[in-house]
Structure 1
Amino acid sequence: MTKALTKTIGLLFLLLGVNPSVKSAESKAPNIVVIFADDLGYSDVGFTGSKEIFTPNLDSLANNGVIFTNGYVTHPYCGPSRAGLLTGRHQARFGMENNAAHSPQDPYMGLPVEQQTFAKRLQNAGYKTAVIGKWHLGSHPNFHPNNRGFDYFYGFLPGGHDYFPDSVTVSDNAYHVPLQRNGKSAEFNEYLTTTLSKDAADFIDNTHQPFMLYLAYNAPHAPLHAPKVLIDKYQHIEDKNRRIYAAMIDSMDSGIGIVVEALKRNKQLDNTLIFFLSDNGGVYPEYWNAWENWADNRPFRRGKVSLLEGGIHVPFIAHWPAKIKSGTQFDGLVSSLDIAATSVALANADVKQLDGVNLMPYLLGEKTGSPHQALFWRLEEADNIWAVRTPDAKFLNQGLPGVGLSLFNMQSDPFEKNNLVGKRPELQKRLAGLWNAWNLDNQTTPLLQALPYKQQQQEFYQRLYQQGKQQAENKVPYQIAVTEDSK
């Protein structure tokens, strides 16, 4: 192409008001970054109103993107919430309603192998995929991230980890196991949150194709560990536990800044869709963990493990400069399931059997209203723990103090203060009908994910041991035979 022709084309673009570099970015498949906090209280970041804890990087993403004011996860604690997020299917569809134990020898304790992660769908569409941080979906090779759609894994398989490297050892304590990098032991030499953030930045620096990065921080999940310099920054917080917790969130926010800088450095920020949310609400001092009092889920009631808003209504934002208008607030019902549906649709990948909704038509103004007319929850079906939420109401049952069977008008009472059970029988009937219809397509919790499985597993080992012990006791000890030839 001659220089004259190049100038002519460039002038034509300018006359038409078109920036060719922007058009090029928009035509490329976007990168997907999902940042998952762990046990983050609803009001413990700036964009939801915190004045105590400083989160400038998250606040910048929120202010320059969209805040989902009615953003939910599919479960009020760890593993099942992650199963829903990563498959894009409600975990009740395949009965994963308990945390998978750290059991490296158990080929059934984890995310069922027939369930496909949306990372695998993106991988099949040409994306390079990575998970950095907490896995918590099984420790047997069947469930290893590298076998579930992720090209790269750096982090830990159990449900948590200590934050400083000096506690790492080969032991039965899952929080002390060495980190892994693609199935091999890996070291870390500084505060874990910082290490994970830098590794995420390295992945971005060294990836030259569309990518999906799942950055699953264990912060601010217990144990409460943070660098002293950050703890000292929060002397204005009186409670010691909350002071450390605040420092953990501060470090996570700084780590998110490291990731954003890597995207800028590689000229990828404009064409990267970033989601940030928590796996569930912050810890609430229930009777079994009365000391865990450091998170702030206000204005919602209760927290982690509860189906009240404090357990499932989480800080939730999206940021994509090329597409999402800055300063947006979206009030429709949004689910963590929608992350998979949106990402897969943008990549033109396989969208079959996903429970979420592609959010982009709503964020671009092509569709109006709520992406979901109802959201559903189920915890261990045998215990009759469930919830359904529509744009106007919520009906739930959970045997926690002050909860029980509850009905709320979510338009006039979004903080669930006025229980209407028995006062609106037709509404209860309608919501129960919605939940019952949804539950017909679900699977009863398999034994392998439930407490009885663990009990029967232990009983099996006990029987096996007793059988071997009895055989050993009944067997006459052998004698050394001395013959003429051995003299």
Structure 2
Amino acid sequence: MTATVTRRSVLGAGAAGLATTLAAPSASASTPRSRTPNFVVVYVDDLGYGDLGCYGSPLVRTPVLDGMARRGMRFTDFYSGSPVCTPSRAALMTGCYGPRVNLPAVLFPYPRDVDEGISAEETTIAEYLKREGYATGIFGKWHLGDPASRAEHHPMEHGFDRYFGIPYSNDMDPVPLYDDREIVEEPVDQATITRRLSEQAVAFVREHADEPFFVYLAHHQPHEPLASEFAGRSAAGAHGDSVEEIDHYVGVLLDELDALGIREDTCVVFTSDNGPWYVGSAGDLYGRKAETYEGGMRVPFLVEWPGVVPRGATYREPGQLVDLLPTILAAVGARPDPGRVIDGHDLLTAWRTGRRVDRGDIFYYEGGNGRLNAVRRGDWKLHVSRAAGPYFTGRGFSSTAETPQLFNLRTDPEESYDLSEHRPELVEELADTIRAFDAALRADRAARYGS
């Protein structure tokens, strides 16, 4: 007899209950494979480029994610959509930079009458996939509008059939836990939430194992305050505890896909919304969260898709979070709405072959006032402005006087040696690119939003 998993039973399961609840899959390994691929996007908060074993961490143990890298593809030069939460999540959901969809900065839950959030005018990846017959679920942090302020900002109004998670960052007050449209816990028990989100994602996969599904598992760890049932296990302190717990539960989800016989039908993506905050490692990159230096926006990116993505591949060309939506749509034979400018590029050929796809320039929008600070073209990166100083301390953002700065990221990933005086013609070319792109983006936003 198969085990039955309900929302309430999973919600109340403790550490011991996890092993019992997940012990028996709801379908056998002989379940016929779906012709349409499933997609699982595991999206974590404030994970640094150097926080995984497969990205060089000597302290954080991540055997599951390291295994994904061995069996799938690891990107060395992948960028978030922004160095902070909200615009980065907007990039994932819409394939657009945050300022284009009128979400240039972090949203806060107060005051409650603030009308800020993702517009119904935008089409999310969940909405696109629902059109293609997918079951869609979000488990974790939303941060694209407070449902308690405006009901239309609820993720279930933007293409998701199922929601279990928190509406914004775990350091904001209050921190409610939603089960679909109902708040079931406030404040959320943060030490247990990584496990509980994973349990709910597993339950959703079981429920929809015989149809195509999209799971967006958006852990709010290792964003501070750090909390974990794995406390004290990691040589990398509390940050490492949270990362190692996430790694473990990614393994639980992958094991469930195996048990259900749908692993080879499922594309699993793992990445982060931006670089590390006060703790965590940016590897050999300069900068941290809130900065448009590499450490603030270059993040781990792994994709495992048996039989599609080549095993053990390393992709060394640039990619960005805005590319995820057009790539996934290409994989199911769909396209973004023709009336919407999409900033992302289809990287499906790169995923399938490991061969270079020229996705064009990478743009670095900061998360304070939505200013376009930098552009990458090939190995070259030009800063024309940059965010500096402490983040969310009341002092705000400041622009430094040393720009423009030009770096060769292939030889100088730390952005230590400014070459602008050696290549003035390239500085001017890239500065012109920034001005033109930003002007076009702002004109597009003004046409849609009047601002």
**Fold match by TM threshold 0.5:** yes
User: Does the aligned pair in 1 maintain the 2:49–2:295 contact within 8 Å?
Assistant: yes
2:90 alignment partner AA: A
2:178 alignment partner AA: Q
- 2:247 alignment partner in structure 1: 253
- 1:470 alignment partner in structure 2: none
Number of residue-to-residue matches in the alignment: 396
* Superposed displacement of residue 436, structure 1: 2.0
User: Does the aligned pair in 2 maintain the 1:333–1:372 contact within 8 Å?
Assistant: yes
* Superposed displacement of residue 103, structure 1: 4.3
**Counterpart secondary structure, 2:237:** helix
User: Does the aligned pair in 2 maintain the 1:345–1:351 contact within 8 Å?
Assistant: no
* Superposed displacement of residue 392, structure 1: 2.0
Structure 1: segments with no counterpart, 5+ residues: 1-20, 162-171, 284-291, 448-452, 454-487
* Superposed displacement of residue 440, structure 1: 2.6
1:224 aligns to 2:231 (yes or no): no
TM-score normalised by the chain length of structure 1: 0.76
Offset from partner CA, 1:361-380 (integer Å, 9 cap, x none): 12333x94333221112237
Picking from 43, 51, 57, the partner of 1:44 is 51
Structure 1's 47 and 380: CA in aligned 2 closer, same or farther, altered over 3 A? closer
* Superposed displacement of residue 388, structure 1: 0.2
Distance 1:246 1:222 in 2: 12
**Counterpart secondary structure, 1:60:** helix
- 1:152 alignment partner in structure 2: 162
Distance 2:410 2:366 in 1: 25
Structure 1's 443 and 142: CA in aligned 2 closer, same or farther, altered over 3 A? farther
Distance 2:440 2:100 in 1: 7
- Which is higher, the Rg of structure 1 or of structure 2? 1
Picking from 341, 352, 355, the partner of 1:364 is 352
1:61 aligns to 2:68 (yes or no): yes
1:233 alignment partner AA: R
2:122 alignment partner AA: Q
- 1:376 alignment partner in structure 2: 363
1:313-324 equivalent positions in 2, closer than 5 A: 313-324=298-309
User: Does the aligned pair in 1 maintain the 2:74–2:303 contact within 8 Å?
Assistant: yes
- 2:407 alignment partner in structure 1: 408
1:44 alignment partner AA: D
Distance 2:126 2:387 in 1: 36
Distance 2:86 2:228 in 1: 24
Instruction: Decide which moves more: 103-112 or 70-79.
Output: 103-112
- 1:164 alignment partner in structure 2: none
* Superposed displacement of residue 419, structure 1: 1.1
- 2:77 alignment partner in structure 1: 70
- 2:20 alignment partner in structure 1: none
**Counterpart secondary structure, 1:191:** helix
- 2:17 alignment partner in structure 1: none
1:322 alignment partner AA: G
Picking from 176, 180, 183, the partner of 1:182 is 180
- 1:345 alignment partner in structure 2: 330
Offset from partner CA, 1:358-412 (integer Å, 9 cap, x none): 22212333x9433322111223796855110011200112152688412101232
User: Does the aligned pair in 1 maintain the 2:90–2:101 contact within 8 Å?
Assistant: no
- 1:388 alignment partner in structure 2: 375
* Superposed displacement of residue 182, structure 1: 1.1
Distance 1:411 1:373 in 2: 17
Distance 2:377 2:300 in 1: 19
- 1:328 alignment partner in structure 2: 313
1:78 alignment partner AA: C
* Superposed displacement of residue 98, structure 1: 0.6
1:226-305 equivalent positions in 2, closer than 5 A: 226-227=228-229, 230-234=230-234, 237=235, 242-283=236-277, 292=278, 294-305=279-290
Distance 1:383 1:311 in 2: 15
User: Does the aligned pair in 1 maintain the 2:76–2:314 contact within 8 Å?
Assistant: yes
Structure 1's 381 and 42: CA in aligned 2 closer, same or farther, altered over 3 A? closer
1:81 aligns to 2:82 (yes or no): no
Structure 2: segments with no counterpart, 5+ residues: 1-28, 390-399
Distance 1:421 1:80 in 2: 29
